[in-house]
């Protein structure tokens, strides 16, 4: 029994980390007033690039490339949505489509081969055609990993540990420091922040780039830490689930931990139920579960009275300009 719990819990953490990393960054963007709907596209780009760069240069470089790519992609969004004041929904979705298309192109066998040879001409022929990359190794924390049940928290790869540290740290920055206060104020009432001498555009731009960086990291983790077999569009809507998780967490990094593992748990249990044969009804019904929760969250947040009660950043999605 304990073994069964441990395996479910361990998997829950592994799945949940994808959502946690992605939503942590998104919380910052949305707290500053920018809705980054490009999450899905940035994640899938991060996954594709981490695939290619792991084969060429190894894990560390691959992760860095994914993060930097995420930052650059979100910079496109920042320029369009913050400085040019275009519609955030449209630009964000455009970014997602760009990522989905571009990642599929870059990781397709032919293009990948050319890229790999260009990156590292010494690469053995056998690596040029494979569809998978080495998974990130698990690191067992001495002593802690030996504890029954919760020990599985400490038998994870490095990016999971990064998420453990990032969530409380980002909560602290957001609620206890000056930059965090500026960021929250900009998302609530940019005119007030502007009047107090805060550069609204710069804060929003930086927050958007942070969300991009984390989305890139989430993509790299999804591929290298969870399922290192490439297929096109492997994020399968996980970016959108992360977006709804941001809402469920009411824009709080600590609550995002719970939410992420909740979504992770739902997904894992759904696999397990299928194994038990319960899914014989229709496996699709169960696969649908996380998406169903995501849609419910998105519907809820679009209801005006709910919005006000759960504390949506008041200027979320609204471009700022001084003249209006």
Give the pair of three-digit tokens for residue 254. Answer: 């600590």
CB 193 within 8 A of CB 186: yes
Residue 68 or residue 173: which is nearer to another protein going by CB? 173
CB of 13 to another protein, least distance (A): 30
CB of 144 to another protein, least distance (A): 29
CB of 318 to another protein, least distance (A): 14
CB 27 within 8 A of CB 254: no
CB of 89 to another protein, least distance (A): 21
CB of 158 to another protein, least distance (A): 27
CA atoms within a 13 Å half-sphere pointing along the CA-CB vector of 9? 14
Residue 145 or residue 250: which is nearer to another protein going by CB? 250
CB of 306 to another protein, least distance (A): 8
Residue 1 or residue 176: which is nearer to another protein going by CB? 176
- Give the Cα-Cα-Cα angle 222, 12, 218 (nearest 5 degrees): 25
> 190-208 b/e with 16+ CB inside 10 Å = b?
beebbeeebebbebbbbbb
Q: Three-class SS string for 184-237?
A: HHHHHCHHHHHHCCCCHHHHHHHHHHHHHHHHHHHHHHHHHHHCCECCCCCCCC
User: How many CB atoms neighbour CB 91 within 10 A?
Assistant: 21
Residue 129 or residue 191: which is nearer to another protein going by CB? 191
- For residue 229, what are the β-bridge partners? 132
CB of 179 to another protein, least distance (A): 7
CA atoms within a 13 Å half-sphere pointing along the CA-CB vector of 143? 0
Residues 6 or more apart from 5 whose CB is under 8 A from it? 149
Query: Which residues lie near another protein (CB under 8 A)?
Result: 176-179, 181-182, 184-185, 188-189, 191-198, 304-305, 308-309, 311, 314, 322
CB of 178 to another protein, least distance (A): 6
CB of 81 to another protein, least distance (A): 21
Residue 58 or residue 179: which is nearer to another protein going by CB? 179
Residue 282 or residue 305: which is nearer to another protein going by CB? 305
CB 312 within 8 A of CB 298: no
Beta strands in 55-159 (DSSP E): 138-140, 155-157
CA–CA dist 298, 240 (Å, integer): 10
User: In the block, which residue shows the tokens 């984390």?
Assistant: 214
Residue 191 or residue 299: which is nearer to another protein going by CB? 191
Residue 196 or residue 275: which is nearer to another protein going by CB? 196
3-state secondary structure (DSSP) of residue 293: helix
Residue 246 or residue 266: which is nearer to another protein going by CB? 246
């Amino acid at each position: 029994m304990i073994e069964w719990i441990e395996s479910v819990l361990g998997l829950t953490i592994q799945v949940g980390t994808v959502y946690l990393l992605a939503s942590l960054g998104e919380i910052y963007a949305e707290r500053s007033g920018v809705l980054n709907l490009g999450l899905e596209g940035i994640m899938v780009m991060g996954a594709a690039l981490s695939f290619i760069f792991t084969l060429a240069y190894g894990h560390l470089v691959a992760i860095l490339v994914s993060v930097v790519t995420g930052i650059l992609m979100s910079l496109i969004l920042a320029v369009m949505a913050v400085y040019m004041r275009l519609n955030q929904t449209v630009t964000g979705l455009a970014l997602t489509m760009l990522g989905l298309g571009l990642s599929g192109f870059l990781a397709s066998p032919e293009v990948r081969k050319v890229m790999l040879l260009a990156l590292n001409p010494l690469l053995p022929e056998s690596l040029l055609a494979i569809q998978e990359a080495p998974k990130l190794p698990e690191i067992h924390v001495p002593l802690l990993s030996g504890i029954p049940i919760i020990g599985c928290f400490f038998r994870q790869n490095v990016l999971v540990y990064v998420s453990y540290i990032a969530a409380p740290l980002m909560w602290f920055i957001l609620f206890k420091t000056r930059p965090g206060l500026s960021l929250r104020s900009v998302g609530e009432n940019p005119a007030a922040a502007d009047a107090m001498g805060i550069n609204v555009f710069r804060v929003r731009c930086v927050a958007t780039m942070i969300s991009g960086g984390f989305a890139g990291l989430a993509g790299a983790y999804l591929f290298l830490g969870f399922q290192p077999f490439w297929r096109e569009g492997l994020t399968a809507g996980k970016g959108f689930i992360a977006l709804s998780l941001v809402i469920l967490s009411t824009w709080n990094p600590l609550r995002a931990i719970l939410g992420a593992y909740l979504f992770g748990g739902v997904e894992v249990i759904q696999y397990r139920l299928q194994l038990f044969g319960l899914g014989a009804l229709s496996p699709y019904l169960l696969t649908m579960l996380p998406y169903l929760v995501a849609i419910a969250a998105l519907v809820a947040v679009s209801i005006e009275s709910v919005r006000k009660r759960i504390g949506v950043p008041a200027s979320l999605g609204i471009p700022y300009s001084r003249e209006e």
